[in-house]
């Protein structure tokens, strides 16, 4: 096989000169025009850049810039219940609370000359421009930390030359108004680390289960390696790539002389202990955190809650909350097994001394239904409403627990030509009896008669005072609970009676601060006397009889307790609401579609045992306390 070798022939230099002269003759007439056109293009480009720069954001706003930050919700003792955030899950920390190893690792891989340049690193930018020109697209950034920061805060994610120029201009400007440490702190709290973690603190807790202040060299190098492509290099997604990136960072740190070869080797070989992805996890107590979030939104607005970095101390006791949830779940299964057609239950426990909500369960399974029946479901309370009628009687000064009422037939015209004839649950009448006895055995007719005697508008007024805001009209059947109320309204109202008429605003929130510890809301109880203490104490005495001698005997817990059963005539709702001096609890059972629960479903037979079960556990370590007798208070005239 032969090959042909083409030898390069030397060109005659005179011919070269003639060539350029020829070109000159051909183009001489257009050279001036080309030059003018090029100048116009450059000038136009400069004018365009000048106009663009004039329209760039004003970086001075960063002096007062606060990134969106996750809000955290805790129980009364400081146990974390949930985190609430919008798009960005972030907890801001000062620079001196971030590991020095992390700071060095990030600078090593992202901007090793950070403390030397003034916003842009000309060497890095030049290298990036060359690489991008060779590749024909934007493949290398050359960005400094300052440029990355302004890109994250102000600019779009498009990889365009114009955006790169804007980054550079803004980076120079930001370096003129902020110190290097301020920029680095802002960057580390702003950057995205993967798995919905924004800022180093939430990222450190997710990846390694610790604060950013405690990250060691090995952990810091792995985290610094995430910044370029967080999801790709996440150890949760690809451990091999994560280790490769870690080694690149450690090698760079060694090359810079920031760590020794021995330190690099030790960090490379260290066996890391990882945390778990938790930024997308829901609350362990969704009904509590939802109630808290709604209260916060009403006071501060949605954006403040989702982005404001609030620290929220709720009134809920996590241990009591767990008892409440377990009680509801266990009894729901048991009652279903006994043939009770009940889809839902709710339980609310309130401290009468503070009106702090200690436990709140808004349904059987929050995973299946987020509707909070404890705070949102308005259901008929049945006979559990009667205590408000009898309180009105006592407060009028005309009645005592021993006053006689008549359980005898009666009919009334209730705003129409039709007669309303109240009946008792067993369709019998027992004649004259004391108010104490009438309430203990839950007779309907005496409650109707007392309601008419004291005035139904007065009963409504008392309900409003007790915080029951559900719609109600002064109809004859009102004393029998012919209105809709929430379990929270019932628990709070009974708590006021338990506290002899002293009332604070019921709340699930004790205190709210921002991430710096500044107090935004302080719900320290401010009790006001809203009921007649003698009347409230007298009612408590009668309600104790309900538990010891009446329809609520299944609620006995081995200590003084007061309460009332509630059963609607249609058997769609059954209740027990009761209290000791330290805790008032309402329990409701029903169906969301208002389907009847079944014949024989009563508050005394089915709900009182649930109340007893919960209260026995909740009060296990609480000293027994007796109610104050009415004789210690002045009777109203």
pLDDT single digits (tens) 470-509: 889 999 999 999 899 999 999 999 999 999 999 999 999 9
Confidence of residue 131 (pLDDT cuts 50, 70, 90): low
Residue 157 CA, distance from chain mean position: 30
Domain boundary among 269, 286, 315: 269
- 260 and 329 in a single domain? The answer is no
Q: What is the pLDDT of residue 302?
A: 77
Active site residue 220: no
When comparing pLDDT for 608 and 40, which is higher?
608
Q: What is the pLDDT of residue 2?
A: 34
Sign, Cα dihedral of 147, 153, 154, 160: positive
In a domain, 243, yes or no: yes
- 552 and 447 in a single domain? The answer is yes
Active site residue 473: no
Confidence of residue 337 (pLDDT cuts 50, 70, 90): confident
Q: What is the pLDDT of residue 157?
A: 54
In a domain, 186, yes or no: yes
DSSP character string of 541-561 = HHHHHHHHHSTTGGG--SS--
Q: What is the pLDDT of residue 305?
A: 82
- 462 and 602 in a single domain? The answer is yes
Residues ≥6 apart with Cβ < 8 Å to 493: 388, 463, 466, 467, 468
pLDDT tops 70 at residue 200: yes
Helices (H), 478-528: 487-498
Q: What is the pLDDT of residue 31?
A: 45
Mean residue pLDDT of the chain comes to 85
**Token pair for 550:** 């009446």
Confidence of residue 71 (pLDDT cuts 50, 70, 90): confident
**Token pair for 293:** 């979030």
In a domain, 59, yes or no: no
Tell me, what CATH number does 488's domain have? 3.40.710.10
Residues ≥6 apart with Cβ < 8 Å to 193: 199, 200, 202, 203, 206, 207, 223, 226, 227, 230
pLDDT tops 80 at residue 517: yes
Q: Which of 124, 279, 315, 383 is catalytic?
A: 383
In a domain, 71, yes or no: no
Q: Are the beta carbons of 436 and 380 closer than 8 angstroms?
A: no
pLDDT tops 70 at residue 525: yes
DSSP character string of 40-82 = HHHHHHHHHHHHHHHTS--GGGGGG----B-EEEE-TTS-EEE
Q: What is the pLDDT of residue 515?
A: 83
- 255 and 330 in a single domain? The answer is no
- 332 and 404 in a single domain? The answer is yes
When comparing pLDDT for 543 and 62, which is higher?
543
pLDDT tops 90 at residue 309: no
Beta strand pairing call for 583-590 and 344-350: antiparallel
- 583 and 457 in a single domain? The answer is yes
Of 183, 209, 364, the C-alpha closest to 278 is 209
Of 629, 492, 609, 625, the C-alpha closest to 547 is 609
When comparing pLDDT for 161 and 400, which is higher?
400
Beta strand pairing call for 502-503 and 412-413: unpaired
State the total domains in the chain.
2
Give the pLDDT mean for 192-198.
82
H or E segment and range at residue 564 = strand 562-567
Q: Nearest-5° angle of CA 547, CA 551, CA 557?
A: 30
Q: What is the pLDDT of residue 125?
A: 62
Q: What is the pLDDT of residue 355?
A: 97
Pick the range with the lowest mean pLDDT from 53-62, 256-265, 314-323. Answer: 53-62
Task: Tell me the C-alpha distance between 384 and 574, whole Å.
Answer: 9
Task: Tell me the C-alpha distance between 174 and 393, whole Å.
Answer: 72
- 574 and 468 in a single domain? The answer is yes
Q: Are the beta carbons of 222 and 230 closer than 8 angstroms?
A: no
Domain boundary among 236, 269, 302: 269
- 340 and 218 in a single domain? The answer is no
How buried is residue 8: exposed, middle or buried, by Cβ count under 10 Å (0-12/13-18/19+)? exposed
Q: pLDDT > 70: what percent of the chain?
A: 83
Confidence of residue 18 (pLDDT cuts 50, 70, 90): very low
Confidence of residue 57 (pLDDT cuts 50, 70, 90): low
How many CB atoms within 10 Å of residue 418? 9
Pick the range with the lowest mean pLDDT from 281-295, 309-323, 523-537. Answer: 281-295
pTM score, two decimals? Answer: 0.71
Confidence of residue 129 (pLDDT cuts 50, 70, 90): low
In a domain, 483, yes or no: yes
In a domain, 83, yes or no: no
Give the pLDDT mean for 281-304.
82
When comparing pLDDT for 426 and 30, which is higher?
426
Per-residue pLDDT of 423-446, as tens digits, reads 998 899 999 999 999 999 999 999
Q: Name the CA dihedral angle for 495, 500, 503, 507, rounded to a multiple of 10 degrees.
A: -20
Q: Are the beta carbons of 417 and 566 closer than 8 angstroms?
A: no
Q: What is the pLDDT of residue 284?
A: 72
- 370 and 241 in a single domain? The answer is no
When comparing pLDDT for 280 and 372, which is higher?
372
Confidence of residue 34 (pLDDT cuts 50, 70, 90): very low
Q: What is the pLDDT of residue 598?
A: 85
Q: From the CA atom positions of the chain, what is the Rg in Å?
A: 37
Q: Which residues pair with 566 in a beta bridge?
A: 575
- 420 and 507 in a single domain? The answer is yes
Q: Are the beta carbons of 215 and 104 closer than 8 angstroms?
A: no
Phi, psi torsion values for 611, nearest 5 degrees = -55, -45
In a domain, 172, yes or no: yes
In a domain, 352, yes or no: yes
Domain boundary among 227, 244, 269: 269
- 204 and 352 in a single domain? The answer is no
- 223 and 353 in a single domain? The answer is no
Q: pLDDT > 90: what percent of the chain?
A: 61
Q: Which of 71, 91, 99, 110 is catalytic?
A: 110
Domain with 122, as residue range(s), is 88-269
Coil, strand or helix: which one is 249? helix
Tell me, what CATH number does 157's domain have? 1.10.3810.10
């Amino acid at each position: 096989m032969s090959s042909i070798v083409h030898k390069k022939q030397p060109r005659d230099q005179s011919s070269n000169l003639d060539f350029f002269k020829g070109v000159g003759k051909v183009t001489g007439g257009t050279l001036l025009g080309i030059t003018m056109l090029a100048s116009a293009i450059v000038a136009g480009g400069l004018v365009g850049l000048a106009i663009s720069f004039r329209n760039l954001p004003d970086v001075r706003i960063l002096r007062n810039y606060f990134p969106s930050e996750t809000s955290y919700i805790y129980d009364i003792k400081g146990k974390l219940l949930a985190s609430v955030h919008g798009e960005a899950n972030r907890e801001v920390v000062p620079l001196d609370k971030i590991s020095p190893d992390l700071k060095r690792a990030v600078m090593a891989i992202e901007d090793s000359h950070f403390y030397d340049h003034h916003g842009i690193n000309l060497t890095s930018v030049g290298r990036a421009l060359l690489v991008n020109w060779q590749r024909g697209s934007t493949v290398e950034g050359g960005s400094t930390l300052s440029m990355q920061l302004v890109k994250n805060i102000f600019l779009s994610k498009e990889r365009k030359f114009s955006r790169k120029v804007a980054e550079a201009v803004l980076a120079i400007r930001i370096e003129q108004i902020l110190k290097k440490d301020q920029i680095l702190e802002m960057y580390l709290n702003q950057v995205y680390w993967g798995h919905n973690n924004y800022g180093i603190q939430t990222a450190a807790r997710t990846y390694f289960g610790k604060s950013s202040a405690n990250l060691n060299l090995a952990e810091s190098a792995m985290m610094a390696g995430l910044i370029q492509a967080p999801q790709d290099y996440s150890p949760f997604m690809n451990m091999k790539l994560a280790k490769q990136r870690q080694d690149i960072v450690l090698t760079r740190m060694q090359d810079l002389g920031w760590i020794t070869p021995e330190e690099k080797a030790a960090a490379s070989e260290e066996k890391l202990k990882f945390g778990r992805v938790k930024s997308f996890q829901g609350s362990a107590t969704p009904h509590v955190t939802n109630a808290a979030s709604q209260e916060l939104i009403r006071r501060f607005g949605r954006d403040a809650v989702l982005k404001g970095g609030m620290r929220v101390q709720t009134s809920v006791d996590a241990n009591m909350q767990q008892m409440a949830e377990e009680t509801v779940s266990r009894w729901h299964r048991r009652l279903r097994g006994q043939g009770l057609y009940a889809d839902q239950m709710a339980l609310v426990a309130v401290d009468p001394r503070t009106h702090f909500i200690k436990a709140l369960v808004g349904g059987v399974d929050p995973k299946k239904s987020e509707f909070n029946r404890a705070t949102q479901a308005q259901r008929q309370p049945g006979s559990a409403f009667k205590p408000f009628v009898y309180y009105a009687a006592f407060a009028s000064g005309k009645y005592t627990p021993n006053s006689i009422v008549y359980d005898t037939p009666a009919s009334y015209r209730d705003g129409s030509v039709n007669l309303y004839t109240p009946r008792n649950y067993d369709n019998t009448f027992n004649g004259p009896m004391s108010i104490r006895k009438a309430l203990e055995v839950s007779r309907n007719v005496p409650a109707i008669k007392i309601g008419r005697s004291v005035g139904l508008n007065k009963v409504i007024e008392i309900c409003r005072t007790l915080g029951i805001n559900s719609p109600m009209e002064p109809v004859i059947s009102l004393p029998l609970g012919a209105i809709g109320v929430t379990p929270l309204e019932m628990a709070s109202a009974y708590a006021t009676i338990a506290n002899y008429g002293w009332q604070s605003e019921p709340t699930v929130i004790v205190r709210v601060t921002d991430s710096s510890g500044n107090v935004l809301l302080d719900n320290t109880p401010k009790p006001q006397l809203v009921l007649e203490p003698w009347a409230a104490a007298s009612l408590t005495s009668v309600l104790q009889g309900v538990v010891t001698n009446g329809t609520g005997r299944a609620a006995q817990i081995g200590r003084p307790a007061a309460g009332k059963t509630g059963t609607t005539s249609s058997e769609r709702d059954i209740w027990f609401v009761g209290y000791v001096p330290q805790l008032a609890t309402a329990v409701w059972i029903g169906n969301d579609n208002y389907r009847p629960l079944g014949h024989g479903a009563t508050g005394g037979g089915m709900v009182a045992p649930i109340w007893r079960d919960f209260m026995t556990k909740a009060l296990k370590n609480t000293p027994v306390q007796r109610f104050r007798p009415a004789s210690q208070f002045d009777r109203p005239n």
